[in-house]
Structure 1
Amino acid sequence: MNKKLFTSTFLAAALAISSPISMLQASTEGSFDDTGGVLATTNAIKDIEYQIMVQRATQLAIWAMPAVGMNDFITATRRDLGGDLNDVIYLSKPFDSKHGFLTANDVTAYSWASLTSEPGPIIIEVPAASDKVNYFGTVVNAWDQPIEDVGPAGADKGKGGKYLFLPPGYKGDKSKEELQKEGYLVYQTDTYQYGFSFRPVLSNGGTDADAAEYAQKIKIYYLADAANPPPTKYFDAAEKPYDCLPYYNFTFFEDINDSIQNNPIRPQDKVMVSLAKGLGIEKGKPFKPTERQKKAIEEGLSLAYASMQDYFIAPGKAMIPLWKKDNTLLSQWLVWNFAPGQPQSGFPYETEDSVLVDDRAGGSYFWITYLPKYLGSGTFYLTGLRDKKGDLLDATSTYKLNVPKDTPAKDFWSVIVYSMETKGFVRNAKRVGLSSRNKETMQVNSDGSYDVYLGPKAPKGKESNWIPTGEDFFLLFRLYGPESKTFYKTWVLGDIEKI
């Protein structure tokens, strides 16, 4: 897999792509009728077939963003671990900079898996909460749409459970109701492939080692094998350079093809799937695009990336200010701006008459995965894109963030640096974040607050409070166990200041 994302020159070129309309207006060829309408001749738009391929590549990439993110977990498990579908991946210690994962945290020993129900109904057996570990997490379909949450906040209420997923068109010997009576938590689904990511919640002195042991109690097997399940395979990714980031090159369209080939075509996706044929992607056929199609894919993908990046950083789109009064910003920190109704409906990114293509791409799955079915209050996220003056955070500057002593997190707070380019950790950084769990090694101010420094080099004497950057970046500030649902009405996190 080519892990090169883009060059700045290539991305700049994406923004300069001329539209067919502008080319038509610039052309001296063609004719006009008396009403001013254009009667385009065959020469009015140069190489219309190629221009249409570029446009379709752009829209296909934005449409398929969530499916690509899910497929990259499968790719990474196979390539980096030698595992496969239905295997459980876990961490014996949290992520670090060698791991490629969209906006993951560096304080949690996650577990996750990709699986398929194409051979038949499949079961994820989630262990009951122990006195030291329980799970917070979600099972999603191949489009990253939440199916169900697990653990104390999910369907099993912390008692553990057998989550049974019925494939599309399931017609088994037992009905859904009969299977429920047998103790299964049953879900009819519209894709064959699924994924899950579970975050362990530690208590009573629980450790990452406890979380790793707990992860190896997850079982995945088919309903047909329920009487005598074969052993589940487990892979520890803590020391492996596991990389499930999406990359905006030819592999992106290989991911789109894989998703189309390995799942049913849903009614809401038929139009886009039919347009994919013009780029060499067709259900039941090998993906072997011509050089001309590859060139169009590359050009269209650069524009798609630029569009999603713009959605991510543009004020009022993916994020909105948390602290604002009378149209005046009290702080540059932002909160996620989900499309109306999506948190309440479980983030399907579909309504009665629409598929919310841009909202789910640039608004979410361009930079995150595994939204929960039910939005809870266990963690609160703040996003930092700009410094106090409103400028985007950059690679060469050094910044300071003061974290007050009274930060309202019952468990702990955490601040992590992410690459603006990849939305993952800054590659090969000495550390990717700091948290109140590091207070034993961090310098503390006389008022009990902490100054966190962000930049390519640590300020002299401040190494223990420094997070390396070295490229354009953004921050996520997480409050684990916020003290209330309205804490932000009496508490404000100060701006990131350039020094």
Structure 2
Amino acid sequence: MPTLKSKTFAAATISGLLFQSVPIAAEMSDLQRDTVVRRACEAAIWAIPAVSVYDIELSLQRDAGADFGTLGYMSEPMDSRHGFLTANDVTPYTFGGLTTKDGPIVIEVPPAADKAAFFGTITNGWQVPLADVGTTGSDEGKGGKYLILPPGYDGDVPEDGYYVLQSNTYGVHFAFRPVAKNGGTHEDQAAYAQTLQWYPLAQADNPPPTKFVDVKQNPVNTLPVYDLTYFTDMNAVIQREPVLEQDKVMMAMLASLGMVRGQPFEPDAEMQEALLEGLQCAYGTMQEHFITKSVIPIWEDKQWGVWDFAEGQPEAGFPYVSDEMVLIDDRAGGSYSWITYLPKNLGGGTFYLTGLNDSEGAPLNGTDTYKLTVPADTPADDFWSVIVYSMQSKGFVTGNERVGLATPNLPDMQVNEDGSADVYFAPEPPEGLESNWIPTGEDFFLLFRLYGPSDGWIESGWKLPDVDNVSP
């Protein structure tokens, strides 16, 4: 935004009241600055789903050196070198960011293979789910061609052979997991992932080969960063996407921050300082929502919780828009500041338990030692997994070789006589229990995943024990 220059407003008569000429100083007044801070705070909360998914797309180009349209796949699952909101370290991902700016595109999902099958979701530029794919999606594991139409498209649409999706943004994003089956290996998953294709509809008769980059070998950091790049990323989305009717009021607020479609975003030092103060407000607001409103207890006598989505959103496919309003706080602090790619239809073979506190109700911290006893009869037909996430970034705790433990690790862990396993969370491993230890070192929270949760497990009375603080 250009520096505010000194000028004078002409006197004006409004409702019979005379307002004398008022000079505007070259520097922001306290009132102007407060307005920028307030609006920057609300804008950052509003924009988090778009910024978050844009940063995933951007990371492929910035960190992996890929051209636009190149998809990321993984030869092995993620580790702490990867920045990704609450990702898992068990199943690799395939993901990308595409555009319909030049016309409809096709994402061609392969049929489920003997050793791997896709599970995931295609979203628009605001992470509103367009369709689930794979065994729990529209194609039911048979494979299919998902045709995404750009906003306002009035051209020809093929009558047969496609799942047709109308998007109200040009941006098209997705993350699929090539889930292993029948003893499939990471090599099987990686090979299957690279059978995915995308191409413009105009080239459907002779589609160009889809390009891939291995982001295991080229680690990417997709996490939104709460510095000035948050606003430059927001501006990149604003410049390339159509303005939705529901967002016109926010666009007016963005204009007062110097963010206008078709114009450069060039905040001066004073504006940058005010923007960053507003961003700090937004981060704190989303953080408080996450801690106090996003998780509700699953059992009255335990600390473990489940995600508490806004009323009606799971049934509606997570548009985060009701008949009366855009649910800005729920979609920000309640979802997209810490998770990505919500499915259009909940359920898909995974159940998440969230741990924010220990058995005494105290928040989990990075200095104490904690123990979780995972029962032998944990109701996961496939496997269970527990992962440590940074309370600050919502990604893996960085700098540690291990970020989680799961059923496949049991042969290398010390297991109790009853078949249960004690998992320790601490900055340093308890003596002699290194194989049962997940490093911390900063405030954290846990996601305990049940892969293939057994039928009727909730009604069975099974409960996951709380995390105990066992610090010496």
TM-score (norm 1): 0.88
Q: CA deviation at 1:75?
A: 1.5
- Asked if residue 129 in structure 1 is aligned to residue 112 in structure 2, the reply is yes
Q: Is the 8 A contact 2:136 2:348 kept in 1?
A: no
Partner of 1:205: 183
Q: Structure 2: which amino acid aligns with 1:254?
A: T
- Show structure 2 runs of 5+ residues with no match: 1-21
Partner of 2:12: none
Q: Which aligned pairs between 1:274-293 and structure 2 lie closer than 5 A?
A: 274-293=252-271
Partner of 1:322: 298
Partner of 1:392: 363
Q: CA deviation at 1:227?
A: 1.2
Q: Distance in 1 between matches of 2:321 and 2:202?
A: 33
Q: CA deviation at 1:240?
A: 2.0
Partner of 1:217: 195
Q: Is the 8 A contact 2:353 2:449 kept in 1?
A: yes
- Asked if residue 347 in structure 1 is aligned to residue 291 in structure 2, the reply is no
Q: CA deviation at 1:407?
A: 0.4
Partner of 1:128: helix, strand, or coil? coil
Partner of 1:245: 223
Find 2:287's aligned residue among 301, 306, 309: 309
Cα deviation per residue 1:383-433 (whole Å; 9 max; x = unaligned)? 110001111001110100000011000000000000000000011112000
Q: Structure 1: which amino acid aligns with 2:316?
A: S
Q: Structure 1: which amino acid aligns with 2:400?
A: A
Cα deviation per residue 1:34-93 (whole Å; 9 max; x = unaligned)? xxxxxxx99xx9611110000000000000010010110122011111113322110010
Q: Is the 8 A contact 2:150 2:166 kept in 1?
A: yes
Cα deviation per residue 1:466-487 (whole Å; 9 max; x = unaligned)? 0000011000000000002542
Aligned residues between the structures: 446
TM-score (norm 2): 0.92
- Asked if residue 257 in structure 1 is aligned to residue 235 in structure 2, the reply is yes
Q: Distance in 2 between matches of 1:240 and 1:472?
A: 28
Q: Distance in 1 between matches of 2:456 and 2:32?
A: 54
Q: Structure 2: which amino acid aligns with 1:394?
A: N
Cα deviation per residue 1:302-342 (whole Å; 9 max; x = unaligned)? 0110011001111xx11100001xxxxx1100100000111
Q: Distance in 2 between matches of 1:332 and 1:381?
A: 14
Partner of 1:194: helix, strand, or coil? strand
State the 4+ residue runs in structure 1 displaced beyond 6 angstroms: none
Q: CA deviation at 1:380?
A: 0.5
Q: Is the 8 A contact 1:85 1:116 kept in 2?
A: no
Q: Is the 8 A contact 1:103 1:423 kept in 2?
A: yes
Cα deviation per residue 1:272-292 (whole Å; 9 max; x = unaligned)? 112101111111111111212
Find 2:344's aligned residue among 345, 356, 373: 373
Partner of 1:232: 210
Q: CA deviation at 1:182?
A: 3.0
Partner of 1:239: helix, strand, or coil? coil
Give the % identical residues: 55
Find 2:81's aligned residue among 98, 103, 108: 98
Partner of 2:351: helix, strand, or coil? strand
Q: Is the 8 A contact 1:58 1:303 kept in 2?
A: yes
Q: Distance in 1 between matches of 2:163 and 2:32?
A: 50
Q: Is the 8 A contact 2:120 2:343 kept in 1?
A: yes
Q: CA deviation at 1:203?
A: 1.2
Q: CA deviation at 1:241?
A: 2.4
Cα deviation per residue 1:252-277 (whole Å; 9 max; x = unaligned)? 11111011111111101111112101
Find 1:138's aligned residue among 118, 121, 131: 121
Q: CA deviation at 1:217?
A: 0.8
Partner of 1:468: 439
Partner of 1:25: none
Partner of 1:430: 401
- Show structure 1 runs of 5+ residues with no match: 1-40, 325-329
Q: Distance in 2 between matches of 1:273 and 1:78?
A: 28
Q: Distance in 2 between matches of 1:332 and 1:240?
A: 38
